[in-house]
Copies of this chain bind each other. A is one copy, B any other.
């Protein structure tokens, strides 16, 4: 059962938040949806899924990205899940980059995380099914995200190219098996055996992608981002894309950092990018 917990008009459409009891994560999950003006059962619209970064909830993008004006104009719904399971029964740590607020969009195999931390299943399967059942949307989907959520968006698109028409990311962690944030999260959720990690690493996934499954992919990265060299490493994905002739565009943006001010500066461009494919 979906419980509607807020409903606010914005840019001619509606921003709404819901909670529901999730099967994948065995807890109550919250998500937010933006419905553009005119979306109805007789006028269903495609969906852009947005995955947020470390410490975020469903609210950061919806409040700070400034995406609604362009999404309303283009007729795109936006769905933003939370970044992890939450609640008193969900394991947590006093850490911004692990456990609650940092689900990393994987299915955990290690206790005590494996009961709840199944954000991969939640985002790939459970949430879209729920959205398509309860909202005036088509099954045409694109996916985007920021930082940890950029990792989630690219990784999920590369693993499920049949489910999405396009993928993009802001400041994504493209090679989690080779950066401190990813190594910490994957060790905790997947265990010390690194052979289990590659299935969630965008560089590894792109390296074995088949050309018939290629998706248009756009990455925006600020060159004043404090996390660029140690955590994000977009050049690692660009190297794979070159080798594979994968249709990845990386746009380095001079002077921008890792914040939502960067996202708000280029979100319209990402929406227009996805709209080409969502409306095709």
Residues of chain B contacted by A63 (CB below 8 angstroms):
63-64, 260
Q: Are A8 and B69 in contact (CB under 8 A)?
A: no
> Is A2's beta carbon under 8 Å from chain B?
no
Residues of chain B contacted by A265 (CB below 8 angstroms):
9-12, 68-69
CB distance from A155 to the nearest CB of B (A): 28
> Is A256's beta carbon under 8 Å from chain B?
yes
Q: Are A257 and B9 in contact (CB under 8 A)?
A: yes
Q: Are A66 and B264 in contact (CB under 8 A)?
A: yes
> Is A261's beta carbon under 8 Å from chain B?
yes
1/0 per residue A2-24: CB within 8 Å of B?
A: 00000011111001000000000
Q: Which one of B10, B222, B259, B262 contacts A264 once the chains associate, using CB atoms below 8 Å?
A: B10
Per assembly, the copies of the chain total 2
Report the bound CA distance from A261 to B6 in whole Å: 12
Residues of chain B contacted by A256 (CB below 8 angstroms):
9
Residues of chain B contacted by A68 (CB below 8 angstroms):
66, 261, 264-265
> Is A224's beta carbon under 8 Å from chain B?
yes
> Is A87's beta carbon under 8 Å from chain B?
no
Report the bound CA distance from A130 to B257 in whole Å: 28
Q: Return the chain B residue nearest A265 by Cβ.
A: B11
Report the bound CA distance from A12 to B260 in whole Å: 14
Q: Size of chain A's interface in residues, with CB distance under 8 A?
A: 23
Q: Are A261 and B64 in contact (CB under 8 A)?
A: no
Q: Which of A254-270 contact B (CB under 8 A)?
A: 255-257, 259-262, 264-265, 268
1/0 per residue A184-216: CB within 8 Å of B?
A: 000000000000000000000000000000000
Q: Return the chain B residue nearest A65 by Cβ.
A: B66
Q: Which one of B15, B260, B264 contacts A261 once the chains associate, using CB atoms below 8 Å?
A: B15
Q: Which one of B10, B259, B268 contacts A69 once the chains associate, using CB atoms below 8 Å?
A: B268
Report the bound CA distance from A178 to B131 in whole Å: 46
Q: Return the chain B residue nearest A268 by Cβ.
A: B69
Given contacts A63-B63, A66-B66, A69-B66, contact A11 B257 (CB under 8 A): no
Q: Which one of B8, B224, B257, B260 contacts A259 once the chains associate, using CB atoms below 8 Å?
A: B8
Which positions in A face B, CB cutoff 8 Å?
8-12, 15, 63-64, 66, 68-69, 222, 224, 255-257, 259-262, 264-265, 268
What 4 A-B pairs have minimum CB-CB distances, sorted nearest first? A66-B66, A10-B261, A9-B255, A8-B261
